[in-house]
Amino acid sequence: MTDDLSDLQVEVPKAPRRAFRQIDPGARAMVIAVCVMLMIVSALLPWVQSASGWQVLFGLAPKGTPIGLVPVLFAFCAMLFGVLVSGAALVTRLWALSFAAAAGCGFSLVTSLLAVWSQQSTSSHEPGPGPGIGIILGLLTLIVLTFQWVKLTFARD
């Protein structure tokens, strides 16, 4: 009995600090989880001509497909922050990871806009090949993910 009370005396002072480090996503958890799944689906769809997002990420695009640095950077950031960090933040519910997800998704959103722009323009006056459906889905998903993480991160008491 006294051992239980001594454990309680140790745990009670730690409770506010533990609560301060954690987030409660509530209903946003489902929206974020769906967005993480959509980011994975977007990696399976075409991004640059016939090359899918995972091919762009790992440099396995078909021969003759011109892939610049910006779509590769977007693929890396989208998978890192949109899938890995977001998933880890949902599982652990740590505020620091949710902050990293918010900042990383915001940066990934900028790289996604640049990736779409890079697919629409060329060095000549001819239009570019255009962005694939996967890169557009990734862009739209990152918009939702960024706003969800920012609201969740900065809504803490």
Which tokens sit at 143?
């918009």
d(CA 13, CA 68): 53
pTM, whole model, 2 decimals?
Answer: 0.82
What integer pLDDT is reported at residue 78 of this predicted model?
94
Residues 16-55 have pLDDT tens digits of 555 557 888 889 999 999 999 999 999 999 988 889 999 9
Among 79, 85, 116, residue whose Cα is nearest residue 102: 85
The two tokens of residue 23 are 């987030």
The b-or-e profile of 104-131 (16+ CB within 10 A means b, else e) is bbbbbbebbebbbebbeeeeeeeeeeeb
What's the average model confidence in pLDDT over 136-148?
Answer: 96
Q: What is the Cα gyration radius of the chain?
A: 20
- Mean pLDDT over the full length of the chain: 86
* C-alpha–C-alpha distance, residues 14 and 7, integer Å: 11
Q: State the pLDDT confidence band at 103, using cuts at 50, 70 and 90.
A: very high
- Spatial distance between the Cα atoms of 8 and 2, rounded to a whole number of angstroms: 10
Q: How far apart are CA 62 and CA 65, in angstroms?
A: 6
% residues pLDDT > 70 (the chain): 82
